[in-house]
Amino acid sequence: MKSIHSIIGTLVILASGAAAATDSWYLGGTLGYYDLDSEHAITDDYQGSQAGLQVGKYISENVAIELGHGVNTGHDDFDVTSLTGLLWMGSEASNWRPYALAGVNQYNFGEVSNLIAGHDDKSVQIVVGLGLGTMLNDNVQFRADVRGMLGQEEDGEDLGFQLSLNHVFGKKSAPTPAPVAISAPETAPAPMVDEEPEVRTITIRLNVEFEFNQDTVLAVYGDQLEAIAAAMSVHEDIELVLEGHTDSRGGDEYNRTLSDRRAKAVKAKLSADYGIAADRISAVGYGESRPIDSNETDEGRARNRRVVGEMSFSEVLMN
């Protein structure tokens, strides 16, 4: 019993700090299979499936706490309520991430036909497990885990397997793009004698930021892409070099590949949507090697996940 109280206390303490840590939470459905040992509350071993709902809150990038409720889908009517903490491991850049879980289950066997005579119709268990999870897209998460459950007093162990499909809410919105940067040096005053055309050099800079572990070019950067494409359409001798970058999360080789995909995604956008010839655009990825901000903060990492490019051309102004 002391160990169960200890786990509950730990989960409550973690939950109390959630609001200050992150705004991300999730709601989802579960489907599980359980093998319940006869020493707990029912005669004979029991195998069956269970469906339920769960709601969870991320208290940091790697820690979540969730509350779940499930019902048996077989002929016996019993349900279970769970309070569970999850610790995610490995890099967020990985397609699949392992996690460990620990918590408590409370089974309500009130309507079970083969309840042990004189046994309490509620059973509280410690739960521990391991699983793997992945993001199917920006907001949908899939998880699969194996769970071991141990009653507070009785001998015997229960085993379970659970699948979860969650919708994650509270993700940060896409960053507001910087305005198209066009710079022109100050021009010298016109000569007093022999008026000549004024030549001005114009530079346009492109800065496209990306969501974590993504290479999709967001629609908010359409104005920047249009400005680059318009200049390249007028000045057909101009070539553009696109440089892709990532933040520091993930392995070096993975990040280099991801940065290359980001640069090529911007290149494909300019070619397909704005008609710029692909052979006029070069794309190269530098991974995490050239940060422009700290990788210790969310804001800094967001600035580092980028594709940049710059082009200059001259215009003649007639007096």
The pLDDT value recorded for residue 7 is 47
Pick 77 or 247 by higher pLDDT.
Answer: 247
* Per-residue pLDDT, 186: 56
Q: Are 248 and 213 in contact (CB under 8 A)?
A: no
For residue 18, is pLDDT > 50?
A: no
- Domain annotation covers residue 306: yes
User: Does 138 reside within a domain?
Assistant: yes
pLDDT of res. 2: 46
pLDDT of 15 > 50? The answer is: no
Classify the phi-psi angles of 170: left when phi > 0, otherwise alpha if psi is within -120 to 50, otherwise beta: left
pLDDT given at position 96: 87
Look at residue 98 and tell me if it is in a domain. Answer: yes
High-pLDDT (> 70) share of the chain, %: 72
Asked if the model's pLDDT at residue 207 lies above 50, the reply is yes
Identify whether 176 is part of a domain: no
Please indicate, yes or no, whether residues 145 and 41 belong to a single structural domain of this protein.
Answer: yes
195, pLDDT greater than 80: no
Q: Let me know if residue 212 belongs to a domain.
A: yes
Domain end among 115, 148, 169: 169
**10 Å Cβ neighbour count for 87?**
13
Please choose, from the candidates 108, 33, 98, the residue with its C-alpha nearest in 3D space to the C-alpha of residue 76.
108
From 169, 203, 225, the end of a domain falls on 169
- Pair (46, 186) in one structural domain: no
CATH code of the domain covering residue 269: 3.30.1330.60
Mean pLDDT, to the nearest integer, of 227-247? 93
- Parallel/antiparallel/unpaired status of strands 63-72 and 198-209: unpaired
Which of 6-20, 59-73, 155-169, 202-216 ranks highest by mean pLDDT? 202-216
- What band does 111 get if pLDDT is binned at 50, 70 and 90? low
Residue 297 has pLDDT above 80, yes or no: yes
* Average pLDDT estimate for 143-160: 76
With 0-12 / 13-18 / 19 or more C-beta atoms within 10 angstroms meaning exposed / middle / buried, residue 100 is middle
* Shared domain check, 231 and 134: no
The Cα-based distances of 51 to 29, 73, 127, 177, 316 in angstroms read: 8, 7, 17, 43, 72
- Higher pLDDT: 170 or 38? It is 170
Q: Give CA–CA dist 244/259, Å, rounded.
A: 4
Q: Which range of residues forms the domain containing residue 71?
A: 2-169
Whether residues 302 and 272 fall in one domain: yes
Residue 175 falls within a domain, yes or no?
A: no
Whether residue 187 sits in one domain with residue 145: no
Based on its alpha-carbon atoms, the radius of gyration of the chain, rounded to whole angstroms, reads 29
Q: Give the predicted TM-score (pTM) of the model.
A: 0.52
pLDDT confidence of residue 117: 44
Residues 142 and 207 reside in one and the same domain: no
Average pLDDT of span 263-277: 94
What's the CA gap between 304 and 207, in Å, rounded? 10
Residue 152, pLDDT score? 54
The torsion angles phi and psi of 246, rounded to 5 degrees, stand at: -135, 175
Least confident of 59-68, 180-189, 282-291: 180-189
Residue 55 in domain: yes
Whether residue 210 has pLDDT greater than 90:
yes
- Per the structure, the count of domains in the chain is 2
CB 212 within 8 A of CB 246: no
pLDDT mean across residues, the chain = 80
* 228: pLDDT strictly greater than 70: yes
- 193 has a pLDDT exceeding 60: no
User: Do both 226 and 271 map to the same domain?
Assistant: yes
Same domain as 135, residue 277: no
> Is the domain of 134 the same as that of 255?
no
pLDDT band (50, 70, 90) for residue 59: confident
Q: Does residue 106 sit in the same domain as residue 78?
A: yes
Give the CATH number of the domain where residue 114 resides.
2.40.160.20
Summarize pLDDT for 84-100 with one digit per residue, the tens. 999 998 776 667 889 99
Beta bridge partners of 79: 71, 108
Higher pLDDT, 32 or 119: 32
Say whether both 202 and 159 belong to one domain. Answer: no
- Residue 156 within a domain: yes
Do 132 and 71 lie in a common domain?
yes
Which of 108, 143, 169 lies at the terminal end of a domain, its last residue? Answer: 169
Query: Confidence class of residue 19 from pLDDT cuts 50, 70 and 90?
Result: very low
What gap in Å lies between CA 259 and CA 252, rounded to an integer?
11
Give me the pLDDT at residue 116, please: 42
